Structure 1
């Protein structure tokens, strides 16, 4: 456990540095938005293309790995939908609050996951994380948008969100990397070096933007729901991934990478989607902040259990 926590100290330190830098006059709000866009549209896509284009993963293992990941996502989605009537009746959780809990449990923070895996396992780990992104980002977005449309009065149509999904830079990068890999084209050495330099900048800057996006002013609001949501995401999702790994026979580093993907906090973009489609945006903001804090304890534990 100590070894795992020591390995994550740089990650936690960079997030804290981003939180501190956000509170200084060095960078404006527009600067942080620019940093986040740079990571989202340029640096992380370059990292994904480089790693997927050069990854060597057996096709059989790829199918089992993908099945394991989808099992955890669909399993959690189904459980939450089945228990939604009970949560409404016993806990008084209305439709908008349920959608925030749903997003908080099923969606994940790609910046944190990629950065941790890159620091722990290098390109091989990033390749598996890229596969996870390619496999679950499309169904996750469709599921969450459908839940928001069903349980809120949001006016954002499913077709519009699907259109945005097709323009998602992570999805585009995964498709490009996979095509380059499967066709045997790969990356020329000059382009590989270019993407390697760009991808190297993604890990640190991505974690800085995570820290800069934390908000503590409303953390004490919705204490019960925030605690419940954090437990579902940071404990429940990794346990489902462990179950999926057992069912599909996935072990070693691939299992640990998948557990990391399910043990990181929810996506910061969940707040934007909640605000656009009529979800409980304040609750969503609280869930994001609390999950980042609590994950500093739960994430090392999950990585240790996975056998790092």
Structure 2
């Protein structure tokens, strides 16, 4: 297959995902959807349709194929490494007041929506299953490290570890993974009508979530972006994914596993980072700028990344 055919094939994977994001942006701009719709739809996705999608993808998965402790361990260690790299750079180059928001924006990706959507687009059922299992690691590591870095630069605030632990334990995505485990291990099958209804409900997840991401993009935030936002965005979308993917290849990951790791590490900054920054008294505007910039950059950087990895035959 020549490079042009590989590039066209790559666009078929990434364009449908990012097209939905830009559709959301357009729908918000022309007034077809508003902030109330986005809030309701986002809650529906987070509490209902996405847990259902993860649950169904896991109970239908080949557990021997989808469950990969090595993949989870590498993602955990690489996440910690990217966190430390971005923190070290922030200490050296970023103003003190911006460091907490900068670091969270640089390492915390939107794996639950963008990463999972791309994994499903690229690898089908395997992408959903392996990505769903990986989300448990994502949620635990991202929340814990985000609390650490934001608290470190808010001296007057204590880390509410019990509250954070309760928040993580009640996370619907983690609960979906835990609920699916008995079905996977005991090979329990659900009735056909229930599976069909569940699949109808779950099919709302990715288009609805991607539209909501697009609808929350702020053009004014992009215009107000300054050095810290641009620096965090380049770190998130170019430097850290390249380092983490190179490390994964050097460790021995190839094909589907390497592809999923790249997609998760290359995902734009998670919208949830804005909520946490605001709750902990950080610079919410800087956080919004980083989310907006990385989301717009993702359509280019992820497409080029997948193309490059496919051309050299790694995924």
TM exceeds 0.5? Answer: yes
Do residues 241 (structure 1) and 241 (structure 2) align? no
- Residue 129 of structure 2: which of 127, 130, 143 is its match? 127
- Residue 147 of structure 1: which of 146, 149, 157 is its match? 149
* CA distance in structure 2 between the aligned counterparts of 1:247 and 1:178, rounded to whole angstroms: 31
Report the counterpart of residue 26 of structure 1 in structure 2.
32
- Three-state SS of the structure 1 residue aligned to 2:282 is coil
Shift of 1:156: 6.3
Shift of 1:68: 1.9
* CA distance in structure 2 between the aligned counterparts of 1:207 and 1:94, rounded to whole angstroms: 33
Contact kept, 8 Å, 1:230 with 1:291, in 2: the verdict is yes
Do residues 42 (structure 1) and 48 (structure 2) align? yes
Instruction: Give CA-to-partner distance per residue, 1:5-60, whole Å, 9 cap, x none.
Output: 23322222211111111123333321221111111111111110011122114379
Instruction: Give CA-to-partner distance per residue, 1:250-291, whole Å, 9 cap, x none.
Output: 211121112111111011111111011022211000000011
- Residue 178 of structure 2: which of 175, 178, 184 is its match? 175
Segments ≥4 residues shifted beyond 6 Å: none
Moved more, 68-77 or 237-246: 237-246
* CA distance in structure 1 between the aligned counterparts of 2:189 and 2:258, rounded to whole angstroms: 26
Residues 191, 156 of structure 1: alpha-carbon distance in 2 compared, 3 angstrom cutoff: farther
Residues 254, 192 of structure 1: alpha-carbon distance in 2 compared, 3 angstrom cutoff: farther
Contact kept, 8 Å, 2:87 with 2:99, in 1: the verdict is no
Report the counterpart of residue 168 of structure 2 in structure 1.
165
* CA distance in structure 2 between the aligned counterparts of 1:169 and 1:295, rounded to whole angstroms: 26
- Three-state SS of the structure 1 residue aligned to 2:179 is helix
Alignment of 1:288-299 (within 5 A): 288-299=291-302
- Three-state SS of the structure 2 residue aligned to 1:185 is coil
- Three-state SS of the structure 2 residue aligned to 1:50 is helix
Do residues 58 (structure 1) and 64 (structure 2) align? yes
Structure 1 unpaired stretches of 5+:
none
Report the counterpart of residue 105 of structure 1 in structure 2.
106
Moved more, 170-179 or 217-226: 217-226
- Residue 270 of structure 2: which of 267, 271, 277 is its match? 267
Contact kept, 8 Å, 2:66 with 2:126, in 1: the verdict is no
Alignment of 1:10-25 (within 5 A): 10-25=16-31
Q: Alignment length, in residue pairs?
A: 303
Say what the alpha-carbon RMSD is for the aligned residues. 2.0
- Residue 73 of structure 2: which of 67, 73, 76 is its match? 67
Structure 2 unpaired stretches of 5+:
1-6
Instruction: Give CA-to-partner distance per residue, 1:69-107, whole Å, 9 cap, x none.
Output: 1122011112233344323xxx4x114x11111111221
Report the counterpart of residue 281 of structure 2 in structure 1.
278
* CA distance in structure 2 between the aligned counterparts of 1:255 and 1:179, rounded to whole angstroms: 28
- Three-state SS of the structure 2 residue aligned to 1:219 is helix
* CA distance in structure 2 between the aligned counterparts of 1:132 and 1:177, rounded to whole angstroms: 14
Contact kept, 8 Å, 1:11 with 1:207, in 2: the verdict is yes
Shift of 1:189: 3.0
* CA distance in structure 2 between the aligned counterparts of 1:177 and 1:186, rounded to whole angstroms: 11
Shift of 1:220: 3.2
Do residues 258 (structure 1) and 261 (structure 2) align? yes
* CA distance in structure 2 between the aligned counterparts of 1:300 and 1:154, rounded to whole angstroms: 40
